[in-house]
Structure 1
Amino acid sequence: MLLLFLSFLFFTFSSPSLSLNQEGLYLLQVKASLSDPDSALSSWNPRDPTPCNWRGVSCHSATASVTSLDLSNANVAGPFPTLLCRLQNLTSINLFYNNINSTIPSDISTCQNLVHLVLAQNLLTGELPHTLADLPNLKYLDLTGNNISGDFPDSFGRFQKLEVLSLVYNLLDGTIPAFLGNISTLKMLNLSYNPFSPGRIPPELGNLTNLEILWLTECNLVGEIPDSLGRLKKLTDLDLALNNLVGNIPSSLTELVSVVQIELYNNSLTGELPRGFSNLTKLRLLDASMNQLTGTIPDELTQLPLESLNLYQNHFEGTLPSSIADSPALYELRLFQNRLTGELPVNLGKNSPLIWLDVSSNQFTGPIPPSLCEKGNLEELLMIYNSFSGHVPSSLAECGSLNRIRLGYNKLSGEIPDGLWGLPHVYLLELVNNSFSGQIGKSIAKAANLSLLIISRNEFNGSLPEEIGLVNNLVQLSASNNKFSGPLPESIVKLDGLGILDLHGNELEGELPSGIQSLKKLNELNLAKNEFSGKIPDGIGSLSVLNYLDLSNNQLTGSVPFSLQHLKLNQLNLSNNLLSGELPSLFDKELYRSSFTGNPGLCGNIVGLCVGRDGDKHKGYFWLLRSIFVLAALVLVVGVVWFYFKYMSYKKARAIDKSKWTLMSFHKLGFSEYEILDCLDEDNVIGGGSSGKVYKVVLSNGETVAVKKLWRGVKKGYESVDLERGQAPALDQDDGFQAEVETLGKIRHKNIVKLWCSCTTRDCKLLVYEYMPNGSLGDLLHSSKSGLLDWPTRYKIIIDAAEGLSYLHHDCVPPIVHRDVKSNNILLDGDFGARVADFGVAKVVDVAGKGAKSMSVIAGSCGYIAPEYAYTLRVNEKSDIYSFGVVILELVTGRLPIDPEYGEKDLVRWVCTTLDQKGVDHVLDSKLDPCFKDEIYKVLNIGLLCTSPLPINRPSMRRVVKLLQEAGAENQQKTAAKKDGKLSPYYYEDGSDHGSEHENKKGFQS
């Protein structure tokens, strides 16, 4: 008996897990099957009697049996642990946002009591198991954001209690099956953003009479919308956007009596809007934009309590019914890009809290209704491209809520009410191409938030007020082709954020301000066709980002400042002035002829200069004598020609045959291809990769350029990603060269690296860029020189790079996706100004806007590749935004995008995990001054927003630019906006700024 008692004590105390109940033992086995790099399961202690106090484990209060397991955001990895199914009372499993991989096992059907199963945002692959339908109690199934492929198994029509089915962002490539209409218990069906084969909306979905939410966004749907959807009486949200649906909008949709929002945008729907919308008494949002609808807007629409009516980019014709002004809940009215005529209702805004009004690009006439801001809520007034006439109502000058005003391209006239110039929240005031007169009011000093003042092509007169120098946030002042007179106000040099100053075509006079060098961000200076006199200030040559300078057709005197040679100009025009003296050597070339004609006193080697001067005839004799000496020299060397050619033949294998090179220039060049070729030796190599080498070439005129030399025979394609080097193998030379030339050859932006020219021959291709003295951001940030990058410098680099990418995404037509955004592809000039570079894998986005473009191979660098791009090969602007978010995190943390220290994580996951476990101070780069903490925190949050796992939750680059600007602004009043596109100062070529209208319309719940 004593022996048995001792044995019992031995086993009890030597094996502490014996004190744990059976369910705890099962969970310990689950723990052993998972990788847990963050020790998320450290609280799972085998010495506890039950697992009820472990992280993520919930138990029944009476029986202590496990009922729920929630390990969301735990960063655990491994296959799905089917051992959980041995927990007899387990009803809920939540493994959201982990690294659960492999396939969903077929024996998951043994979890007979399971009600909730959430495996969203993991790495699951393979097909949907048919056994999922064998779970008799399953109500909630969320598999969003995985790599699940294939088709729906037939068994999915047999779910007994399923209420929520979400498969957003997977790789399902079959069609939406009709048998889903058999799941009569469904309340939510979300299959959005899958690469389905082209297929119709199954009419059988109309049998789902309990359905409340139906999201089929970007599912490659074709054909017509079935009438049967009108039977879904409980439906509150219908989203069929971003498909290829055709035909009429069925009248049966007006029978959806519970519907709150209907989204049909970006399809090919035709016909008129159906009658019967008066039945939809709960409708708050109707978006049928970007289709081919015709006809008029039904009056009954205007009687509904609509919060948002979006019908732009259709072909509506007719007038706007006056009843729309009587809708008491109307706060958003967007009808742009249609063919609407007539006048706006005179009482529009009188009885409703109108916030957003956009009637741009129609054929409206008549006056602007004075009641638009009657309730004091109006924030955006967009009326461009119409035929509105009359004066601007004085009531708008008292509308303190306004933040964006666009009245351009109309027939408006009269003086602007004085208070309108000084509205405190307005950041965009555009009055271009009207017949406005009068002066800019002195009240403009109160315009604390004004960034863009665009009033060109009007009849404004008088002098520019000194108070304009108090508009500290002004980025663009465009007032060309008016009747302004007098001198430039001295205060204008205080606008240190000014990027564009365009006053050409006025009657301005006097000397240019001597302090113009303080405008460090000036990118464009156009003062042509005025009456300016005096000398060109030397300070203009110190404006490092200036690339457009036009001072032509004035009365400027003196010489051309030699400091202008320091600028990297795309456009230079000093013609038709009174300049004199010798031309600076950089400009003393024939290609600059048009830049200096009409200045009789200028002298140089350009034919036509120094007209009428006595020295001209002597210069002719000089050229004759020089020609004689050249001829004599040719005779002298004729004896060695034979030897020279023999020598060249001997060196043929090693020398570059310059005669076979083809030069394609994209800017005015001050050098030839031969000068470049002569400098391509190993002593000038400053970098290289698998596709070739990069040379630093100092030209005879003192300018420095960078030359990328691509060799023949580079391996084609991105077959795999090189994890050690953190980048993909080289792109095929022809593909990369062509992409680089086609992209950079047409781009003109201060934050995109300038491609001077390309040189090609059969065996070699050269790309000649502007030289960046400080190299790449990645090399500098992750080297011993990182101390040079204090926070203000890093912030400047972030802003510059963001503006460059925003230009690619929003201002290029069609948009351009870079596809390899990383810190090593952001180059830094002498002032740490950033340029986006390396467009060898850039792609043009589908201009029709029908979704992401599929690539045949992965391009990009490890640590920067967006998760959905890595497994879907679908590319759009959101892929670049994710990569840019990683760059932001690099700058904030000072860490590499991938590092052995992170284990199996990358920088994004390391930041998220460290924030959760240790707090923000353990994430920030210790080299950064703590006094900037608040600003750094804000930028860190923007980086996390850009790296959101779901692309739909990432902001547009326009929005990123605005968020970054707001993060860096101290004591500045911030403007609010409903959607991404509304905060940007940029425009499309057609004058619109609606590109991001449909971004982030809804998030996805898990």
Structure 2
Amino acid sequence: MAAVRALLLLAFLPLLLLLQPAAEASSEAQHLIDARASIIDPTGALAGWGAGAATADRASPCRWARVSCAANTSTAPAVVGLQLSRLALAGRFPASLCALRSLERLDLSLNDLVGPLPACLAALPALTHLNLAGNNFSGEVPRSWGARFRSLAALNLVQNLLTGEFPEFLADISGLQELQLAYNLFAPSPFPEKLVGLAGLRVLFMANCSLNGTIPSSIGKLQNLVNLDLSSNNLSGEIPPSIGNLSSLEQIELFSNQLSGGIPVGLGGLKNLRSLDFSMNRLTGEIPEDLFLAPRLDSVHMYQNNLSGPLPATLATAPSLSDLRIFQNQLSGPLPPEFGKNCPLNFLDTSDNRLSGPIPATLCASGKLEQLMLLDNQYEGAIPVELGQCRTLMRVRLQSNRLSGVVPPEFWGLPSVYLLELRDNALSGTVDPSIGGAKNMSKMLLQGNKFTGALPAELGNLYSLQEFKASNNGFSGSLPQSIANLSLLYNLDLSNNSLSGEIPRDFGKLKKLSQLDLSSNHLTGIIPPELGEINEMNMLDLSNNELSGQVPAQLQNLRLTHFNISYNKLSGVLPAFFSGLQYRDSFLGNPGLCAGFCQSNGNSYAKHRTMIKSVVSILIASAIILFVGITWFGYKCRMYKMSAAESDDGKSSWVLTSFHRVDFTERDIVNSLDENNVIGQGGAGKVYKVVVGPQGEAMAVKKLWPSGVASKRIDTFEAEVATLSKVRHKNIVKLACSITNRVCRLLVYEYMPNGSLGDMLHSAKGKILDWPMRYKIAVNAAEGLSYLHHDCQPPIIHRDVKSNNILLDAEYGAKVADFGVAKTIGEGPATMSIIAGSCGYIAPGELVLPKYAYTLHVTEKSDIYSFGVVILELVTGKKPMALEIGEMDLVTWVSTTIEQSGMESVLDQTLAEDFKDDMCKVLKIAMLCVCNLPINRPPMRSVVKMLLEVKADSKQKVKAAPPAI
């Protein structure tokens, strides 16, 4: 019997050997199917896993998308790699992946996964590459990873929400070659010196990890290190000279720390060094002579330090340098005379230094120079003729130097330049007719020079021109009629010149024009009535000319914040609209102008009629004065009685509560609330611009609408103001004080001269905002909201984030404003019994309809959604609700259009093509913010980090990108 069993076993042994691999493959397939089932897959990227009727297909994971296998002679092919990056996967880490015992490479980067990091991964014996970057994993790094991860060579946890102590224990993974922990929320800790024991380390990416203390000199032991990035931390002390011993280094990123001392000598000996960034520190001393001897050095950023002394002569011989940014230091002396001759120079910014001497003629010798920023120095001499041949130039900023001489004719007509800024020099000569070839010109700023001659008619060929300022020069002749062809022009300033002739009537075609300044010239003729047809006009200055005739009645159609036609030869009756006090200084020095009626030079009958009109006018005026006086007396009596009732001690009923030092009284503010000073009106009240104090400081005063029962209203107002008054951040509009009495509530803020982002972006002025400015606004606003959410105690939800509540200062820096509906975050989600937020900015599903009233379930995630819409406005240039996108809101339109035509199809086509990649990156961040599921929206702190990372990427460096798996 035993012999029979043995024979049967031998007969079936081959079949058992064939079935075992199939069973193993089926087991791995089931693990993957379980993983797919445990996560959210909104795009259906993993829908094919386990699909198909045939059992053989289900049991063959090696045929599935994003799965790679390795053949093995003894067993079935095993799953060794999973490439699951950028699939919008959400939920927690699928634990069943820890059962794939042969797994070597796992990439789940750039998804929406949440929860703690899985400790079970450390049990996988073959895992060498783990990439979980760009998710929302939180909590601490499992300590078991340091003890059990023996096979791991590359670990990438960049840009998550990890907290706790910095995981120094990862240094126990002796075979680690790439360690990337940047942009997490670790507790402040010193640089983990234990890491220098990882002899095989090639990539060390620990930017924005809350590191402090000094960089140890022992870092020089990492002889295999290729990429060192410790940027955006709080590191101090000197840069250790031992970094010069790291012969394999290609990239050094130490920007945005507190490093001091000098730049160490010896970096020029790094034969592989390509990129070096020491910017935004406190470095002092001279730039070492040997630095630019590094043969492959391509990019050097050392801006915003305290470096001094001359530039080293070796700069002229740097063979690979294409990007040099050394602005905002104290460097002096000239640029090397042959700088640019031996290198492919593309980007040069030496602004805000003390550099002098001539501009080298060789800067564009390679024919690759695109960005030339030399502003705010002491450069002298003429603009080199050779730069007129540099057809790659796109942005030229040479203002505020000592440049002189004639601008080369070819320089005017460079075809790719979109910004030409030559203001505040001593340049002379004329604007050459070759300017007509500058087809890409958007802004041309020539003010404060010694230019002369007539403006060429070829200016009318610059169809992209939006801003032309040439004030304070010696231009003469007539205004070119061709300027009327510039349909995108929004700012034209030719004041303080010697222009003559008439103002062309065709200027009325400039429908985008918002600012026109032709003051202090010798213009004659009439004021063209057609100017009254420019609806966007808000500033018109024609003062100090020789204009004659009447003031056109059509100008009454304009809504001007600045209007001045003083000191001309105007005559006749002034249109009634301009009789208000706000225009009292707009018509000075025009003795022929008269208000109401003019004296006649005709016969006695005319004189008699004039006298009758005078008497009637006097009687009417007297009646009006009497009526106003009675009304004012009654008002003052009522106010006196109210004041007496409110004040037990006889003091004024107005109460000023200051939150910052102020140089004005409550009466200064109250007496300035003239309806002529209204600059805005919204759901919360009116906003006035007032000028108060000994220095004539402009303030914005919000007069809140009265509502509800007085006592309850004041209590709520005071509680809210008490919270907002504690807010201190550079990107939050500063609340200077509150002023209240029994019936009125005033909030006094700093004045923001450029108004709201919404007004600026969605009007003719939108052309002002190029992409760098829009990106700056997005970062500023994100930092303000991040402060409210993460740094205030208790945290604050804004509840009405929108572009109209983001205000712009004189430099177009953004500040979050209008906390009229802001609330602090309590123990749980806030439920508001009013509709907070604005149409187009409220996340779908957050507005519900209970039995009696609308209710909005609001958390900080609501602000994040609204901010995502603001980013979409910046990227697309469209309003949240606009006719051009039909009945859809902006989020739906963007999502639908991307699906049909790709990301680039939604970008604002008026912006420069060069910024397309950065715009797409910011668009991706916006889409994360507007996820339907609130849990999948990143916190504002992460939004700030992602936006800053876009700037870091735009440096075109070899950043430590997540390794390909």
Normalised by the length of structure 1, the TM-score is 0.68
Tell me the amino acid that sits aligned with residue 182 of structure 1: D
The separation in 2 between residues aligned to 1:381 and 1:518, in whole angstroms, is: 34
Measured after TM superposition, the shift of residue 508 of structure 1 is 0.3
The corresponding residue for 1:446 is: 437
User: Residue in 1 aligned with 2:55?
Assistant: 48
Aligned-residue offset at 1:610? 10
Report the equivalent of 2:817. 839
SS in 1 for 2:356: strand
2:96 equivalent to 1:83? yes
Q: CA deviation at 1:507?
A: 0.3
SS in 2 for 1:246: strand
Q: Which of 307, 313, 325 matches 2:298?
A: 307
User: For the structure 1 residues 484 and 375, does the alpha-carbon distance in structure 2 shift closer, same or farther, using more than 3 Å as the test?
Assistant: same
Match of 1:246 among 236, 239, 243: 236
Q: Distance in 2 between matches of 1:872 and 1:276?
A: 52
Asked if 1:524 corresponds to 2:524, the answer is no
Kindly report which structure 2 residues correspond to 1:304-383, keeping only aligned pairs within 5 A, or say none: 304-305=294-295, 306-383=297-374
Aligned to 1:186: 176
Q: Is the contact between residue 864 and residue 882 of structure 1 (CA under 8 Å) also seen in structure 2?
A: no
Shift of 1:479: 0.9
Work out the CA distance in 2 between the residues paired with 1:881 and 1:222.
33
Matches within 5 A, 1:884-963: 884=874, 915=899, 919-920=900-901, 944-945=923-924, 947=926
1:743, 1:763 → 2: CA distance?
A: 31
**What does residue 19 of structure 2 align with?**
none
1:583 aligned to 2:574?
A: yes
Q: Deviations over 1:809-836 (max 9, x none)?
A: 7589988967589997569xxxxxxxx9
Residues 666 and 876 of structure 1: CA distance in aligned 2, closer, same or farther (over 3 Å): farther
Out of 766, 775, 796, the residue aligned to residue 800 of structure 1 is 766
Q: Does 1:396 align with 2:387?
A: yes
Map of 1:176 onto structure 2: 166
Cα distance change, pair 421–732 in 1 and its aligned pair in 2 (3 A): same
Query: Which of 262, 283, 295 matches 2:273?
Result: 283
Contact 1:809 1:877 (C-alpha < 8 Å) held by counterparts: no
**In structure 2, how many angstroms separate the alpha carbons of the residues matched to 1:213 and 1:639?**
80
Unaligned residue ranges in structure 2 (runs of 5+): 1-21, 647-651, 656-665, 688-701, 750-755, 786-797, 806-813, 822-827, 831-835, 846-858, 908-912, 929-941
The match for 2:409 is 418
Q: 1:709 aligns with which of 687, 705, 715?
A: 705
Asked if 2 retains the 8 angstrom alpha-carbon contact of 1:403 and 1:427, the reply is yes
Q: Which residue in 1 is equivalent to 2:427?
A: 436
Q: Secondary structure at the match of 2:585?
A: helix
Which of the numbers 205, 212, 232 marks the counterpart of 1:222? 212
Residue in 2 aligned with 1:103? 116
Counterpart of 2:158 in structure 1: which amino acid? V
Deviation at 1:481, TM superposition (A): 0.8
Residues 1:549 and 2:540 are matched in the alignment? yes
Offset at residue 620 of structure 1 (A): 9.3
1:307, CA displacement in angstroms?
1.1
Question: SS of 2:355's equivalent?
Answer: strand
For 1:616 and 1:734, locate their aligned partners in 2 and report how far apart those are by CA, in whole Å: 62
Please report how far the alpha carbon of residue 51 of structure 1 lies from its aligned counterpart in structure 2 after TM superposition. Answer: 3.5
Please give the secondary structure, in 2, of the residue aligned with 1:330. coil
What SS does the aligned partner of 1:238 have? Answer: strand
Instruction: Give the aligned partner of residue 488 of structure 2.
Output: 497
The normalised TM-score by structure 2 is: 0.71
SS at match of 1:401: coil
**1:409 equivalent among 377, 400, 405:** 400
Cα drift, residue 630 of structure 1: 6.8
Equivalence map 1:607-756=2 (5 Å): 629=623, 671=676, 709=705, 711=707, 732=720
Following the alignment from structure 1 to structure 2, what is the Cα–Cα distance between the partners of residues 885 and 632?
57
1:538 counterpart residue number: 529
| 1:197 equivalenced with 2:187 (yes/no) | yes
Deviation at 1:586, TM superposition (A): 3.4
Aligned to 2:595: 604
Question: Does the CA contact (< 8 Å) of 2:550 and 2:573 recur in 1?
Answer: yes
Which residue is equivalent to 1:568?
Answer: 559
Q: Which residue, 459, 466, 470 being the options, matches 2:450?
A: 459
Q: Are the counterparts in 2 of residues 662 and 761 from structure 1 also a CA contact under 8 Å?
A: no
Deviations 1:575-624 (A, max 9, x none): 11122233333331223222222121222389xx9999999999997787
SS at match of 1:474: coil
Mapped pair 1:293 → 2:283: yes
Give the match's secondary structure for 2:348. strand
In the alignment, what sits opposite 1:166? 156
Higher alpha-carbon deviation: 235-244 or 512-521? 235-244
Q: C-alpha distance in 2, partners of 1:643/1:344?
A: 73
Rate the CA distance shift 1:353–1:716 in 2: closer, same or farther, 3 A.
Answer: farther
One-letter amino acid matched to 1:128: V
One-letter code of the match for 1:48? T
Residues 77/504 of structure 1: CA separation in 2 closer, same or farther (3 Å cut): closer
Contact 1:952 1:1000 in 2 (8 A): no
Q: Distance between the aligned counterparts of 2:634 and 2:761, measured in 1? A: 61
AA partner of residue 354 (structure 2): Q
| Alpha-carbon separation, structure 1, partners of 2:319 and 2:353 | 25
Tell me the equivalent position of 2:479: 488
Q: SS in structure 1 opposite 2:184?
A: coil
Query: What letter matches 2:375 in structure 1?
Result: I
Structure 1 residues 48 and 486: CA distance shift in structure 2, 3 A: same
Do the aligned partners of residues 894 and 551 (structure 1) sit closer, same or farther apart at CA in structure 2, a change above 3 Å counting? same
Residue 87 of structure 1, CA deviation: 4.1
SS of residue in 2 equivalent to 1:181: helix
Report the 3-state secondary structure (helix = DSSP H, G, I; strand = E; otherwise coil) of the residue aligned with 2:308.
Answer: strand
* 1:493, distance to aligned residue in structure 2 (A): 0.6
Q: Verify the 8 A CA contact 1:171 1:872 in the aligned structure 2.
A: no
Task: Give the drift of 1:446.
Answer: 1.0
* Residues 428 and 451, structure 1, Cα contact 8 Å, conserved in 2: yes
Q: CA deviation at 1:296?
A: 1.2
Give the conservation status (yes or no) of the 8 Å contact 1:249–1:270. yes
* 1:367-387 deviation per Cα after TM superposition (whole angstroms, max 9, x unaligned): 222222223222222222222
Q: Residues 864, 210 of structure 1: CA spacing in aligned structure 2 closer, same or farther, 3 A cutoff?
A: farther
Q: How far apart are the structure 2 equivalents of 1:34 and 1:446?
A: 57
Q: Secondary structure at the match of 1:569?
A: coil
Residues 875-901 of structure 1: CA deviation (Å, up to 9, x unaligned): 999995367559869679767679xxx
Q: 1:308 to 1:398 in 2, by over 3 A?
A: same
Give the aligned CA root-mean-square deviation in angstroms: 5.8
Aligned 8 A contact 1:30 1:84 in 2: yes
CA gap 1:736/1:534 in 2 versus in 1, 3 angstroms: farther
Equivalent pair of 2:131/2:156 in contact (CA under 8 Å): no
Q: What is the Cα deviation at residue 184 of structure 1?
A: 2.8
Which sections of structure 1, spanning at least 5 residues, go unmatched? 1-16, 134-155, 677-685, 696-705, 718-729, 748-756, 770-775, 779-793, 828-835, 844-855, 899-905, 929-933, 960-977, 981-996
